Structure 1
């Protein structure tokens, strides 16, 4: 069929090309833009926290480097085991070619053959392990919206679904259930009866699914921060100090999830939620997503001070604007 693959290396990148016939179909690459057949688009496995999912995007939240090439007679699966950027030009630039660009050399490529796509997927699962299967209630209808700021807001959503006779299996809780956007805290002011509400809704078949972010607020006296520092659980910068960036609560450190002891420590923090009857959690911004770090913010502030009172032409204005517009999720982070 399209084998063997000829790998080409240049400028730190590795590329290969698969020829496509008129009848070839390309499936996979996870939940992504386009239809089931991925032909005719460009996709990238290089994810960040981008809220603008318009039509010309090449990447969403998930990176799934597995695809199946099928014609009328045979199918072949391809799995690229690589944690960095991978670009797939699936007949977009050249109609008869699937071009793959891997930004690195330390990768493995698996070719998976079988009598059917089902067999190929089964072989893929032998490599990676089978995916976690959610509970039955996790396959239902869930309501998610940022802005439910209080217990009463959530109850109103729940009651309205009942009144309108719309089936509901769960409600996602965004950051407002926390105290000052701090992980593993509950706001006594806005959600004073969190446990009672969670248990009562669960009795009626509706789960609450609270959010947890990867950033731990830097604040003395905050138990997660204090434990993280004491246990050496945070990602370090080039100087060996806990890296400082900012997300919802302001400046944060990020747990180093490559360390098994950090995985266990962070996992134990969920007890405050499971003790309240919570059975599912929304893990968010684990790309990781970053609003700014200290260096980029300082550069923007200094540029704004220099521009104060000046007569900015178009170039100067856009240069200043870009200091802040491009401050989030920079590649340098």
Structure 2
């Protein structure tokens, strides 16, 4: 007499049959797709450490990997390494190329390979620019459609190297599949080699991988890194800013830093790579050693910096993006800030207690509760009467006073900052009208700080308010909206 199957056994059988049916369905889709049948992946014996994941973020079976995605499959010894990885004949090929004294351009045509996420860009343009003897700029754009590009205001286009003989690097391009190498001229060392993985350029998925000359990689963020030197054992770092408390783990924090530095050897020779892209992205480090950038929009806009030391690389990087603001000496001292001190009396008591305890105390803050109804450039006269006298008292004790503001202006025609800002049309636009969101004071509009007129308007508002309240600094905080 046959025994009855347990509930677990029944569930396992159902699960197995479901997976089998899904595999058969996907294979039928591929067999009905002529382009899928025509592509034959080239899968040489690629070392585990050099594999580039073909289906990032997904767990697939061998059949789905081979027959649906047309990628390579091989079991792994490390759980972080991909089983399903790109073949060598994926990506783009080089068409027409044009050279000049400051760089070259190359038209790229997508190879007839399966689409991973749809909406692939069929024709791309690779533009190489020899900007200085130690700085190489390249970007990959869509030839047929305009995509968002981040502007960089600090680039000095006059500081260029007109002759390739003066460069400390040279670039080699492989035509099919498209890849390139950046090589240090002095010792012929390959600094970056994109042949380790294919270029991916779709509407909402862009990817480029680089083989590196050493495992000494630093940078990327913003996260809580447990050490300066990166661990390259299949680590994925997300980069998309969020207002989060610093904590251990690989979560996103307040800033976005898409720059990394690689120390080539013990001599100190180094180089850095910076991706100018503001979309959400992630960076994958693997033991090849190699690094992969993935982003969901914009273009691939890279800068490469060479130096004889790490310090020189950082100097090259800062020359491009702008050097840090030199803070005033007093800002390095002890500062005190919180929300809701309980009005002017509570604020004065905090200052008196700290000074009475002999605590070195340089700066006192006021959060947005000093404002009238959460409106910038106003003072709540009931909760903070004669706040201007409090600021003068701090100055009399050798202290500084910093106030908080938020870039959200109340949408009210009777509110002077809104009135003047609207006259100068300094707000962010949406659908041919001012974009409106929900901020601290209520319905708000948002200054467009990419507009020079807006910057001047903001400066005027700050200067005028300073005549009423003599603050020493402004902390511009996020204006949360929904």
Summarize the alignment of residues 70-81 of structure 1 with structure 2, pairs less than 5 Å apart.
Answer: 70-73=263-266, 74-81=269-276
TM-score (norm 1): 0.77
Matched, 1:174 2:367: yes
Equivalent residue, structure 1, for 2:283: 88
Summarize the alignment of residues 229-240 of structure 1 with structure 2, pairs less than 5 Å apart.
Answer: 229-238=422-431, 240=432
Given the superposition, is the C-alpha separation of residues 205 and 153 from structure 1 closer, same or farther in structure 2, using an over 3 Å criterion?
same
Gap regions ≥5 residues in structure 1? 293-333
Equivalent residue, structure 2, for 1:265: 457
Q: Is 2:403–2:475's contact at 8 Å kept on the other side of the alignment? A: yes
Q: Is 2:215–2:289's contact at 8 Å kept on the other side of the alignment? A: no
Equivalent residue, structure 1, for 2:419: 226
Summarize the alignment of residues 59-208 of structure 1 with structure 2, pairs less than 5 Å apart.
Answer: 59-73=252-266, 74-91=269-286, 96-208=289-401
Q: Deviations over 1:22-65 (max 9, x none)?
A: x72332235531134262454333224x3454434532111122
Secondary structure of 1:184's aligned partner: coil
Q: Is 1:42–1:88's contact at 8 Å kept on the other side of the alignment? A: yes
Q: Is 2:262–2:270's contact at 8 Å kept on the other side of the alignment? A: yes
Partners of 1:101 and 1:146 in 2: CA distance: 38
User: Number of paired residues?
Assistant: 284
Identify the structure with the greater strand proportion. 2
Partners of 1:246 and 1:138 in 2: CA distance: 32
Q: 1:123 Cα deviation (Å)?
A: 0.8
Given the superposition, is the C-alpha separation of residues 202 and 72 from structure 1 closer, same or farther in structure 2, using an over 3 Å criterion?
farther
Given candidates 223, 227, 247, the residue that maps to 2:439 is 247
Given the superposition, is the C-alpha separation of residues 192 and 57 from structure 1 closer, same or farther in structure 2, using an over 3 Å criterion?
farther
Partners of 1:291 and 1:38 in 2: CA distance: 37
Question: Which fold has the larger relative contact order, with Cα–Cα distance below 8 Å and residues 6 or more apart in sequence?
Answer: 1
Summarize the alignment of residues 292-311 of structure 1 with structure 2, pairs less than 5 Å apart.
Answer: 292=482
Q: 1:75 Cα deviation (Å)?
A: 2.0
Equivalent residue, structure 2, for 1:317: none
Partners of 1:223 and 1:269 in 2: CA distance: 10
Q: Deviations over 1:51-89 (max 9, x none)?
A: 454434532111122221225433211111222223223
Gap regions ≥5 residues in structure 2? 1-189
Partners of 2:237 and 2:415 in 1: CA distance: 41
- Bigger radius of gyration, 1 or 2? 2
Equivalent residue, structure 2, for 1:32: 223
Bigger Cα displacement from structure 2, 178-187 vs 1-10: 1-10
Secondary structure of 2:207's aligned partner: strand
Backbone CA RMSD of aligned residues: 2.4
Given the superposition, is the C-alpha separation of residues 105 and 265 from structure 1 closer, same or farther in structure 2, using an over 3 Å criterion?
closer
Secondary structure of 1:155's aligned partner: helix
TM-score (norm 2): 0.54
Q: Deviations over 1:275-303 (max 9, x none)?
A: 33212110111xxx5332xxxxxxxxxxx
Given the superposition, is the C-alpha separation of residues 29 and 160 from structure 1 closer, same or farther in structure 2, using an over 3 Å criterion?
farther
